[in-house]
Structure 1
């Protein structure tokens, strides 16, 4: 505002100087004299085209055609200010009393170009050194610093273009701006209103500076600002200086955050439900000339979720955010619901019968910002997933998000590790997690729709999936993992009854421990080393789980350790079909094979024993299983030879 007051004064002072002596001068001569006066005061060129028209009483005024006001020598070649026409009027009677009461300043189609470089602003006006040093008899020089009061009744810019350039980079370029301002008295507040067309409607800014002289001098002054845009509004009550640095209370309320973002050039960006489609954010804000915003004592109501904490934002493209947030219970269960304006959800969510969703995943939100956000919460409810008390850190870097769990409470256990979503060159998701004391039934039910398995487990899991839909990601999964479960239950079949040991436990199998490891390739999990320990049995498992197709084909082989004279008796069980409702039954082919092998062995042993008995009868000696027939014959011959030798020698 300081630059604006100076410019206005220069115009008005020039009018006052020449009005008496130049009443009959032609317009081009008046324009030349005014330009010379402005040049001497500011060092900038003022160009007036189309002549100058004057009025005298009660308003001392000037109207011109096209006008331009030069830029700073170090700035760009474009003028700082240009307009198709300019009209300035002052109160003549007040001017005679030594006061400068500006009745009007009206500009049509003006272009205002503000530039900042190395801490210098092109709005900072000063006379050339030579002019400042000049003294003497020039008593008719314009009084650059009037002793009386300066006031402004009406400033009006119609269809203006506002351009702001910082260190050679255009930060914003707003067109079709209508601006009005008034400052009716030296102790009155300066009030400004601006209106600008944007997608979806208009942005309106109401600004009030209660102490304009203090602000114009470069000191910190109070400021009140209200911005209204399609979808929401922003309010600020605090302090400001000429550099634009601010400190005070900030309040942001949105009725439709996506609509408000579109109004400021961020069209097409979706806001997840629960993270601020409707928002009410307040706190103590500090803004520095380097483009940094700090928000302390922040309270953010984002839809139905409430957060507190502090946030630092570095204004850039994209912005960089550093935040420390706390919350109670966070509900993101409808995270993917479409906004009401879009007619509801897509209806393509996955279900146990329909398979994984084939709806495209919109991961554009990963590019909205960079930074690091730490959140501690009592609970977090996601679609089909619920976390208990958790300490999470989200790191955003160029469309890549890393969620660190330090730890997170998941499935009644503790999870440490990280999950990554990368949308730089197509979407991929991966992670490396360690879990302790997790409820296996909750995990399998949530992740795979399997309800039959209960227990508490510990394990590790590393995975990677690529694709633009949930279905593509699940079918591309790769990774490794292991699981160690303590006591638990498998419902759906009774191992005791299956193995012929009484009535069993009513359709369930109780086990003491379970261990397994697995690999995943192209969405298919393979396990070959499952080992389950029970009171009277052990069970081994091998098979595949097709995660992409949501099917299972697994052979589960329990062995009764005390059966068959301690040799063990096995009855394999095959689990096959959709994992939401697989078929679980004994594998009769394996049983028959095992039985057939046993019968052949018995027949072979029986035939062999009969041969040995017959040979023994013929030889008059017993032939055992461990003694060959050849050895038996040799022993018999030696015995008969000894008997014949004794007879020859006269022995008994």
Structure 2
């Protein structure tokens, strides 16, 4: 029992001596000790300025008027951390065990600068962070064995966080609160941050396994989430401070605009079905040189589901190479979105004019690269497509849709469509169609249903302007079309040729072909030829693609009528697309069919007039010119009148 009392007494004396020794240590010495341990742990210069005060219990530590932690030697942005005042605490009992355990670091209103470079360097990777340090005092031998050191708690309040990634815009957030809880040196750490960049709180939470290795650049397990604007971004995988990340990425954004607005990023105002909401999951790999790989990608863009894979380079403007597969894509909202073309698309009535809202094509500058898309069907609102294989190429705001295989209107379409926004918006393309149901196409394009049949066509076009209306009014190009058997609804050529009536009926034709040119939004054609068993018809005129009007003359000819010479009755179609007037051109019909009779009647009239004039002029010589006779009679009358003046 005496020995037990002696041992307890010995330890009491030891603790008393240690406590008195610590009490007489100057505060600036404690501050220097803490700064040395931070310097050893990070490999960065650490300086403490301002007044220094010391606390003894429950934590041995100091409060300083200012703290500064240096940046990487390649950085040109100043210190990595500066704080107006800070508190640094050291565990007393750990000191007695010759361990350096920094129990807490608290910083108020600090500025934290983080930088990364394209070559993979990052300012938060500590080049000399061995995680080991030693206590160096005036009486401690220099060869003393290094002792373990770690920061158990870190608390940052009202911070300004600045992130400078080479090749990208500077990102800066203020009013940031950050905490780190690292209870075991070889264990996991909990990191939490909250910020309010745009009036809505953003929270970041992460659990990092083996945090001691993580801060030295080793790959460790990571479970992290970012919550903002009712959305959540989560990663479960592995990563390192060098920028290497791999794992399962999930993104749940009920509103893309709200999520980005919470991060103080511009809201894209995406159309319905194209990202107004996003539900995404993928296997992600991100390398230190900012190359992103997505595999087993599954994404729902608010009704449109896509699957596939993508490789993206994030050094500067994103470079994308992706292959995507979709089922039925509904893109009908793209044309009518307020953020899209300014309104109007498939729902605009024919003849009422094209949408005049400004088209915002700035998104074409958002990335370069190639995206291959396969879809079971695509609903464009105004047009409907079936099985589609297309390749999208975008380079410096010039996007090319290469139509490799498009099933449309019971036929196929190939070619390319181009949108160019390098110096103002222009659209153009070259398309080839085979076996297209023209009634369905014209119904969707202009609500015209009079022409039926399968057609082969080719066309090229180019238009420019910042609205659909401006583009349609500036169109230029050319094309050709040919039909097999088909019908023209609303015109019965047989009835027309027999009775002159154009009311109702249907004309069945054997073939139809035409070529055209487009200039200033007006399509002109003068060689339309339609063939029937007993008739043929030719057409010429123009269609105002920009003004949505038509002025076209269609001339059917009865080949076997008029003793085999044929009878032609032109029909003129004129008016807006929504109300086309169809009527026979009787004056043209007379000119075409009765030109000889008309000339004969004119000659008979001339002969009758001549006879009457000759009678009045008393002309008996049939060879005498009536004009000369009239002049002679006038002279005679004048002479007689003058002679009467002298009577």
- TM-score, structure 2 as length reference: 0.82
Is contact 1:156-1:181 (8 Å) kept?
yes
**Hey, what's the Cα distance between the residues in 2 that align with 1:170 and 1:449?**
48
Which structure 1 segments of 5+ residues have no match? Answer: 1-17, 608-652
CA offsets, 1:511-569, max 9 Å, x none?
00001000011111100000001010111111011111111111111111111222211
Q: What's the offset of the Cα at 1:501?
A: 8.2
Q: What's the offset of the Cα at 1:240?
A: 0.9
Is contact 1:349-1:357 (8 Å) kept?
no
- Structure 1 residues 218 and 142: alpha-carbon distance in aligned structure 2, compared to 1, 3 A threshold: farther
**Hey, what's the Cα distance between the residues in 2 that align with 1:436 and 1:106?**
73
- Structure 1 residues 433 and 227: alpha-carbon distance in aligned structure 2, compared to 1, 3 A threshold: same
Matches within 5 A, 1:122-137: 122-125=123-126
The counterpart of 1:563, out of the listed 552, 556, 561, is 561
Is contact 1:107-1:158 (8 Å) kept?
yes
The counterpart of 2:484, out of the listed 473, 486, 505, is 486
Matches within 5 A, 1:397-416: 397-416=395-414
**Hey, what's the Cα distance between the residues in 1 that align with 2:292 and 2:304?**
23
- In the alignment, is residue 520 of structure 1 matched against residue 518 of structure 2? yes
Is contact 2:335-2:345 (8 Å) kept?
no
Q: Which residue of 2 aligns with 1:378?
A: 376
CA offsets, 1:171-224, max 9 Å, x none?
533332110110223464211101111225122110101222343454321110
**Hey, what's the Cα distance between the residues in 2 that align with 1:337 and 1:27?**
69
Q: Which residue of 2 aligns with 1:465?
A: 463
- In the alignment, is residue 584 of structure 1 matched against residue 582 of structure 2? yes
**Hey, what's the Cα distance between the residues in 1 that align with 2:69 and 2:152?**
23
Which structure 2 segments of 5+ residues have no match? Answer: 1-17, 606-647
Q: Which residue of 1 aligns with 2:238?
A: 239
Q: Which residue of 1 aligns with 2:527?
A: 529
Q: Which residue of 2 aligns with 1:366?
A: 364
Is contact 2:113-2:161 (8 Å) kept?
yes
Q: Which residue of 2 aligns with 1:201?
A: 200
**Hey, what's the Cα distance between the residues in 2 that align with 1:123 and 1:353?**
63
CA offsets, 1:77-114, max 9 Å, x none?
61222111111113212332344444321001112223
CA offsets, 1:46-73, max 9 Å, x none?
3222232122233111111112123344
**Hey, what's the Cα distance between the residues in 2 that align with 1:43 and 1:302?**
46
Q: Which residue of 2 aligns with 1:11?
A: none
Is contact 2:479-2:515 (8 Å) kept?
yes
Is contact 1:349-1:359 (8 Å) kept?
no
Q: Which residue of 1 aligns with 2:450?
A: 452
Q: What's the offset of the Cα at 1:289?
A: 0.7
**Hey, what's the Cα distance between the residues in 2 that align with 1:358 and 1:345?**
8
Q: Which residue of 2 aligns with 1:284?
A: 283
Q: Which residue of 1 aligns with 2:51?
A: 51
- Structure 1 residues 346 and 179: alpha-carbon distance in aligned structure 2, compared to 1, 3 A threshold: farther
Q: Which residue of 1 aligns with 2:608?
A: none
Q: Which residue of 2 aligns with 1:394?
A: 392
1:201 aligned counterpart, secondary structure: coil
Q: What's the offset of the Cα at 1:261?
A: 2.8
- Structure 1 residues 377 and 169: alpha-carbon distance in aligned structure 2, compared to 1, 3 A threshold: closer
Q: What's the offset of the Cα at 1:570?
A: 1.1
- Structure 1 residues 30 and 365: alpha-carbon distance in aligned structure 2, compared to 1, 3 A threshold: same
- Structure 1 residues 284 and 514: alpha-carbon distance in aligned structure 2, compared to 1, 3 A threshold: same
Is contact 2:252-2:278 (8 Å) kept?
yes
- Structure 1 residues 152 and 81: alpha-carbon distance in aligned structure 2, compared to 1, 3 A threshold: closer
2:591 aligned counterpart, secondary structure: helix
Matches within 5 A, 1:190-229: 190-229=189-228
- In the alignment, is residue 302 of structure 1 matched against residue 301 of structure 2? yes
1:409 aligned counterpart, secondary structure: strand
Q: Which residue of 1 aligns with 2:592?
A: 594
- Structure 1 residues 379 and 404: alpha-carbon distance in aligned structure 2, compared to 1, 3 A threshold: same
**Hey, what's the Cα distance between the residues in 1 that align with 2:311 and 2:40?**
45
Is contact 1:231-1:257 (8 Å) kept?
no
- Structure 1 residues 82 and 40: alpha-carbon distance in aligned structure 2, compared to 1, 3 A threshold: same
- Structure 1 residues 169 and 514: alpha-carbon distance in aligned structure 2, compared to 1, 3 A threshold: closer
Q: What's the offset of the Cα at 1:469?
A: 1.6
Is contact 1:208-1:224 (8 Å) kept?
yes
Q: Which residue of 1 aligns with 2:573?
A: 575
Over the residues paired in the alignment, what is the CA RMSD in angstroms? Answer: 3.6
**Hey, what's the Cα distance between the residues in 2 that align with 1:39 and 1:405?**
61
- Structure 1 residues 439 and 138: alpha-carbon distance in aligned structure 2, compared to 1, 3 A threshold: farther
Q: Which residue of 2 aligns with 1:5?
A: none
Q: What's the offset of the Cα at 1:424?
A: 2.5
**Hey, what's the Cα distance between the residues in 2 that align with 1:508 and 1:42?**
88
- Structure 1 residues 604 and 88: alpha-carbon distance in aligned structure 2, compared to 1, 3 A threshold: closer
**Hey, what's the Cα distance between the residues in 1 that align with 2:466 and 2:37?**
67
